[in-house]
Amino acid sequence: MATKSIYELPTSSRIKHFLVFERISQRIATLKDQAPPWGLHAAVTALLELERITSKGNLRSELIKELHYQISSLEKLSQSSGVDRELLENIVDQQRRLIGRLETGDKTFEQSLKENELLGQQRRRFGFHANSHDYDSPAYQHMLARSINEQRAILDSWMQAFATLSQAIEVVLGLIRSSASPVSELAYQGYFQTRLDGEKKCQLLRIGLPESSPYYPDVSLGRSKLSLRFLEPTDQYEHALQIEEDIEFQLTRCAL
């Protein structure tokens, strides 16, 4: 299964929020390279969504807690034989620096984003509080007419407000994803069930299928049990039927 479609399932709200942040950031990175004006319009909408999820709740504090947890886990791991202690020390040093930056915040960029007049207009006009088809702002229309290189520069400057969060989430999720290797499993007649007991609490489940697979996993996750059904959708995704054949897939139980 060299080429795979990966389905990720977080087992806590903390990791779920990190994944949401990552997906929106990836969407913005893709959209800013698309032809104007609609690539930029969609990127601005995604940026406002990113701003909303970071300004509400406790994403920054949860990220700091996770970094402290990972540092503790890596320091314990460094006592084991056969590990690259120098590599672990470098990772821990990077995580400590990220904690320091998260605690002080990207205040200059964050304040600049909050005070940006054009973004303030768009917060009121579309996406969250008003009609998303209201484009009567001349300033916004002017920005949409700029060249793609100018639009990229504008978006990059706005994304500086999220730079430390982005880097910290990249480090945290990268370590979680690399904490375990995939294991080949078999879903008998399209159904699979297993217990999640172990010394370490699973943080993220990753289900791998061939990229051209016509089916997808339907996941039910309990406190200590994982159940999977593999479903095949209709052409318009109006209804899905459970596969009644044996399905080979890969399961990764990520935990630090």
pLDDT of res. 130? 43
Can you give the pLDDT at residue 136? 57
Q: What is the DSSP letter of 10?
A: E
Looking at residue 122, its pLDDT comes to 82
**pLDDT confidence of residue 57:** 62
Q: Report the distance separating Cα 210 and Cα 124, nearest Å.
A: 43
Instruction: Quote the pLDDT of residue 199.
Output: 61
The pTM (predicted TM-score) of the whole model is: 0.90
Residues of the chain with pLDDT under 50: 128-132
* Amino acid identity for residue 7 in this structure: Y
Q: What is the pLDDT of residue 197?
A: 73
Partners of residue 241 on adjacent β-strands: 232
CB 63 within 8 A of CB 102: yes
* pLDDT confidence of residue 62: 95
Spatial distance between the Cα atoms of 58 and 71, rounded to a whole number of angstroms:
20
Q: What is the DSSP letter of 35?
A: P
Q: What is the spatial distance between Cα 216 and Cα 207, in angstroms, rounded to a whole number?
A: 10
Q: What is the pLDDT of residues 95-127, one digit of tens each?
A: 999 999 998 876 677 788 888 888 888 887 755
For residue 220, the model assigns a pLDDT of: 92
Residues 6+ apart with CB under 8 A from 184: 248, 249, 250
Handedness of CA 159, 162, 168, 169 (dihedral sign): negative
Q: Which domains does the chain have, with CATH numbers?
A: 11-175 (1.10.3900.10), 181-254 (2.60.440.10)
